[in-house]
Amino acid sequence: METRTSVAIGLLVFSFYFARIASGNIDFPKAQDLTWSSYNFKTILTWGPKPTDYSYTVEYYGVGKDRDRNPHCIRTKNTDCDLTRMLTNLKESYYADVLSEPERGTTSDIVEFPHTRSERFCPYKDTLIGRPDFKIEVNKDTDKIILYIKDPIAAVYEDDRLLNMRDIFKDDLKYRVTYRRAGSTGKKVKITDTSEMELDAENGESFCFSVQAFIPSRSSGKQLGEMSRPQCSPKDDKPLLEEYGLGVIAGGILAVTVLLIMVIALVVVCCRRRRTVVRSEKENVPLSQAEP
């Protein structure tokens, strides 16, 4: 009796589920954890979960603007959508809606599909600026170290040309340079408004540098870009006296002299002990053995 009841309930549930699918009235799970990820203006929206018997469609729109769709993100089984080429006005704020819809080739009578809205995103204010490259030049005539910073390339085209960060941010782009003397742990910071920076190289000393983009108009948590790899300037080959100073050289000579005296004294002591041992052995040899 219990088995027949269980089978009947199972058939009823299956029939109800099948009827909902046939009529197109099945509910689809909403997208979750919508996240904007933007690096050098390459902007991707991600979400979850992975769809099974349904798909996702992404709509994006500026504040107060009409909705639009990326043709590559319509009824897709993916859980990410590249919107880099869609968000053309970099200073505008955007939202995105991820709709849960039937799979391709199927229909539904649902009037409004379940959807989830993203947080607001502004490329100009929110994209992470990658680490810049730079080269170091030492001017021995003026005792200056010059940094030449290369503006990172953006994933943005204008007239079929890739723009860099200076093209986009213009005077709003600055660089934060962190530097220290080679071999020292004390750090200093200097902000430069351009892509070059000069530093006095005292007596040809070597300095180590790290550089990152700095956008002061942004909120405090998004002003700094990614830190570059550190680089150090070459150190001049200076005369020994100028490099180490008279005191250090005199101390070194004294240390070598003391060490040499100790070695000589040790050798003399060893030789004397050896002679004493040999003399003692001869004195202890019986006369009959000593003479043939």
pLDDT in tens, 84-95: 999 999 999 999
Identify residue 263 by its one-letter amino acid code.
Answer: V
Looking at every residue in the chain, the average pLDDT score rounds to: 84
Q: What is the pLDDT of residue 123?
A: 98
Helix (H) or strand (E) holding 30: none
Q: Do 198 and 236 touch, CB atoms closer than 8 A?
A: no
Q: What is the pLDDT of residue 292?
A: 44
Rg (C-alpha) for the chain, rounded Å, is 39
Integer Cα distance of 60 and 94 in angstroms: 7
Intervals of CATH 2.60.40.10 along the chain: 24-126, 133-234
Q: Any idea which architecture 24-126 has in CATH?
A: Sandwich (2.60)
Q: What is the pLDDT of residue 276?
A: 73
Q: What is the pLDDT of residue 9?
A: 47
Q: What is the pLDDT of residue 125?
A: 98
What are the residue ranges of helices labelled H in the chain?
2-23, 123-126, 165-169, 240-244, 246-283, 287-290
Instruction: Return the structure tokens found at 82.
Output: 């590249």
Specify whether domain 133-234 bears CATH 2.60.40.10. Answer: yes
What residue ranges of the chain have pLDDT lower than 70?
1-26, 236-249, 277-292
Q: Which of 185, 174, 271, 272 is nearest to 223 (CA)?
A: 174
Instruction: Return the structure tokens found at 248.
Output: 């250090």
Integer Cα distance of 61 and 67 in angstroms: 5
